[in-house]
Structure 1
Amino acid sequence: MKKDNSRIPFNVPHMTGKELNYIAQAHFNGMLAGDGPFTKSCHDWLQMRTNAKKALLTNSCTAALEMAALLLDIAPGDEVIMPSFTFVSTANAFVLRGAVPVFVDIRLDTLNIDERLIEDAITSRTKAIAVVHYAGVSCEMDIIMDIAARRGLFVVEDAAQGVMSSYKGRPLGSIGDLGAYSFHETKNVISGEGGALIVNREDFAVQSEIIREKGTDRTRFFRGEVDKYTWQSIGSSFLPGELIAAFLWAQLEEAEAITNKRLVSWQVYDKLIEPLEVAGAIRRPIVPAECTHNAHMYYVLVSPDTDRQAVLNEFRRQSIATVFHYIPLHSSPAGIRYGRVHGSMEVTTTQSERLIRLPLWFGITSEQQREIVGILSKTLGMQP
């Protein structure tokens, strides 16, 4: 991501203060490749939080999703149902295996996949459902898991934005067969680049390690479970180095405090923007009662008759970084080439054209937030 030189940037990566110390420890330990002591600490933390059968650090959430596709033995012609309102990695991981993304529309409230549309999109070729927890707010997982169980499908949770979020008390990433996290610098808990695969099935645990280690049973060898390691199946080099894990461990130790601080800032926005919603100028994020979110982002949906680009231009003029989000995949060249649409994509299209993401990071001040909301109000013709 290009450095943001705005007066009020969109994102500022948070440092806990322990990162460099832990990186120095990793250097002193003399083990810089993956799966050292810091990696183990991160694995243990993730497994304890999610109650997963296995949690494995990866180079990125993209890598975790690609591992998921390999674990599910996705093959050419298979279909994977997913929203179009998501990052390209959700689809790309399965397209790489020859699968067809089947795009269905999203809900008006959470902007997550509309669970009511999934069953009708299932065909004899459907192998999995890939859900995306937008803004760290959960999809309707009970209904989705019920559909998957009845129709013999796998569920992959793209929980890139969902670390420290939950659905009915269950951490996101821990509900489906597999979950994927992101620790990119734009996320709440970061390692620069990085991610994790959450494995919730015992029968996938050993194979996930093999895929992550270039298709070998090297991890079992280091545990003393085999006397030598050999090539077992297809895989790739998905594990990050120990320096990345050391940085991440400093973040995971503070994950609860980071989340709580962001939630305070999220609530400041929500209170300041409430009058704009009452006046009909915008719509605020909606978080269902059964969902506990992590304040990953704060977005607004401007009214259909508002020129969103004019709003973004005014923020840019004021040197404040605001952005829109995904261009729906079904409308992209690759989405048209590799995927197919099931049903109307009206909500996806209209909501994606109305959305504006506001600056939010650990440490943004309430004064900065008031200035942002003030500019938003004036641009929309409202009094702040």
Structure 2
Amino acid sequence: MNSEERKSLSAPIPFNKPFVAGKELFYIAQAVTMGNLGGDGHFTQACSRLLEQTFGIQKVLLTPSCTAALEMAAMLCRLEPGDEVIMPSYTFVTTASSFVREGATPVFVDIRSDTLNIDETLIEAAISPRTKAICVVHYAGVACEMDTIMAIAKKHNLLVVEDAAQGVNSSYKGKPLGSIGDLGCYSFHETKNFICGEGGALCINNPRFIETAEIIREKGTNRSRFIRGQVDKYTWVEIGSSYVPSELSSAFLYGQLELMQEISTQRQTIYNNYDCLIRPIADRLGLQLPSIPTECTSNSHMYYLICSDGPQRTKLLSHMRSRGIQAVFHYVPLHSAPASVKRGFNRTSLPKTDNLSERLIRLPMYFDISTSEQEQVVDTMKSFL
């Protein structure tokens, strides 16, 4: 059989595929029989306790999404119109929109060429009298330079929010991501390492935020205190929203979280396999590959390539898709998005963000991708390059 015949018989390879690793479906059935599907039942609480104990976080509140967690974090920052929040532009929209909803202005800072994280050496120059917080994004599950960032925040009396959507079970100098800043946010979207379709969590490391966070999450009521028997009835006490996830989602998630290390080991194997296949030929093909600083432990969330230029990226994506391989680009930088331009948020030149975002490709990566499928991905890429 020649190569073209093999190609025609190859099954399409999706970018992502949801998976069941253990007792997820059993736990969903168990949640139904327990009779509490609305949230904050047995499995929601079990997930929170597991994350608190595993990562040493003072309080974890499960949410319907990471977007919900970021919105809660923004509300807890007590922002006012005109306040500023420093963040990277190379991130998902809700990193910025969560703070914009509160009247704040995102101040975008360029990224590092190696990790694609916010460049910590540029943060201090972006601080103004209106700056209230720094929101860092741990891209691809690789930590930002948190010692420097936390020192800057302390010096200028700023809050630090970690957007650790991609960073569950990654660490910086032994500290789990999401446990370092005042607040941290996780995602359990189906494209992440640990999933429940949609889902997230707010990590609270500064204890002064705990009671208010509980109120915001429960539609602005003190229902959590009522459930604990601390008040004899609950009522509206704060501006909040409905940020409690379904118990069905939490049940599925618990089946994943209790196998966190097994899932992480599998993803590390997949990441290492890509690396072994690609790294020996990267220089010859003009590719930049992921960089993980020695002080960081990655959760192997993604494997990406940075092509030599934008046109090469476009042609390579087209080539791979024509052969059934769903490699994808990632973020369109927020500073150049229509919403930013309309509101005047694009005030600073971000050359590295613009350049790297135009050249990046994410390879298919999911829990049960096979070695042969990875080889097919790389062979297809090599045949073009």
The whole-number CA distance in structure 1 between the counterparts of 2:174 and 2:104 is: 33
Query: Is 2:66 the partner of 1:61?
Result: yes
Q: Give distance in 2, aligned partners of 1:14 and 1:171.
A: 24
Tell me the amino acid that sits aligned with residue 106 of structure 1: I
* 1:351-370 matches, cutoff 5 A: 351-370=356-375
26, 36, 44: which is aligned to 1:39? 44
**Residues 1:18 and 2:31 aligned together:** no
Contact residue 180 and residue 195 of structure 1 kept, 8 A: yes
Q: 2:105 aligns with which of 84, 100, 110?
A: 100
Residues 221, 236 of structure 2: 8 Å contact kept: yes
SS at structure 1 position matched to 2:353: helix
What is residue 198 of structure 2 aligned with on the other side?
193
- How far the C-alpha of 1:278 sits from its partner, in A, is 2.8
* Amino acid in structure 2 at the alignment position of 1:115: E
Q: Identify the match of residue 83 of structure 1 among 85, 88, 96.
A: 88
1:322 and 2:327 are equivalent in the alignment: yes
Q: TM-score by structure 1 length?
A: 0.96
Report the 3-state secondary structure (helix = DSSP H, G, I; strand = E; otherwise coil) of the residue aligned with 1:81: strand
| Cα distance in 1, alignment partners of residues 295 and 342 from structure 2 | 37
Q: Which amino acid is 1:51 matched to?
A: G
Whether 2:34 is the aligned partner of 1:29: answer: yes
The unaligned stretches of length 5 or more in structure 1 are: 1-5
Structure 2 contact 12–325 (Cα < 8 Å) conserved: yes
**Match for 1:208 among 204, 213, 219?**
213
Moved more, 370-379 or 109-118: 370-379
Q: How does 1:1-384 map to 2 (within 5 A)?
A: 7-304=12-309, 307-338=312-343, 340-341=345-346, 343-380=348-385
CA distance in 1 between counterparts of 2:343 and 2:126 reads 16
Post-superposition CA distance 1:142-181 (Å, at most 9, x none):
0000000000100000000000100000000000000000
Post-superposition Cα deviations, 1:266-324, rounded to whole Å, max 9, x if no partner, equal 00111111122232520110000001001110000011375211100110110110000
Query: What letter is aligned with 2:118?
Result: I
Q: Specify the code of the residue in structure 1 equivalent to 2:319.
A: E
Shift of 1:344: 2.9
How far is the alpha carbon of 1:104 from its aligned partner?
0.8
What does the per-residue CA deviation read over 1:5-53, in whole Å, with 9 as the maximum and x for residues that have no partner?
Answer: x711111112124111111111101111110011110010111122222
- TM-score w.r.t. the length of structure 2 is 0.95
| Distance across 1 between alignment mates of 2:96 and 2:112 | 19
Distance 1:226 1:52 in 2: 26
Q: Is the 8 A contact 1:324 1:355 kept in 2?
A: yes
Runs of 5+ in structure 2 lacking a partner? 1-10
Counterpart Cα distance in 1 of 2:356 and 2:285: 15
1:164 is paired with a residue whose SS is: coil
Distance in 1, matches of 2:258 and 2:230, equals 31
Aligned length: 376
The CA distance in 2 between the partners of 1:77 and 1:32, in whole Å, is 41
SS in 2 for 1:130: strand
